[in-house]
Amino acid sequence: TIGGLSLISLNSAVPTPWFQAYGQLDSGQLTRLENLLTQLPPEAPKIVVVHHPPLVADGQPDTRRHGNRSGPELMVPCHRHGVDQILCGHVHRAFSWEDPGHKPVTIHCAGSATQAVSSLGAGATYNRYHWDQQRLAGVEQRGYDPLTRQFQLLKPAGATT
């Protein structure tokens, strides 16, 4: 907990066969997450960080060969205990998606800062998160511009598209 904000990291990395890159949370991690979330005040801001997103940009699980195989199971305690944000990577295209429910959970995928790109915005992105007190005030997306050889602002914090 940092100043009332609970930041909870999970490890979805598992060994995979060639040409597969899926992740998974074992039942022990999911149980510990449930127990930890139960101990936190309901109104406290909560953020979960995991490499493999539980759902992708269209709100569906990714493929079995690439996705978080326990993504739907991860969403259950996140909804139940009011997790505000899930921060993730793995998918090389940045996205933000709000999963509706009793209390919506927003999934932010940063994309990949190391992906080779031919034009600004085509990849090689990362997010900067702006906080106001203990709440997420906005997500700024930045991308690599091969012409200037620098990261540039793609979407200012607060932009919705």
Tokens of 33: 């997450």
- Nearest Cα residue to 98 out of 140, 151, 43, 160: 160
Name the residue among 31, 131, 37, 16 with its Cα closest to residue 80.
37
The span from the CA of 161 to the CA of 141, in Å, is 11
Residue 147 CB contacts under 8 Å (≥ 6 apart), including other chains: 120
Place of tokens 């997450």: 33
**Reported pTM:** 0.86
Closest CA to 76 of 105, 49, 47, 53: 105
Q: Are 157 and 141 in contact (CB under 8 A)?
A: no
- Tens-of-pLDDT digits for all 161 residues of the chain? 677 789 999 999 999 999 999 999 999 999 999 999 999 998 889 999 999 999 988 888 888 888 899 999 999 999 999 999 999 988 878 888 888 876 788 898 888 777 777 777 777 888 888 877 767 788 888 888 888 988 889 888 775 44
Quick one: pLDDT at residue 102?
A: 66
**DSSP assignment of 74-108, as one string?**
HHHHHHHTT--EEEE--SSS-EEEEE-SSS-EEEE
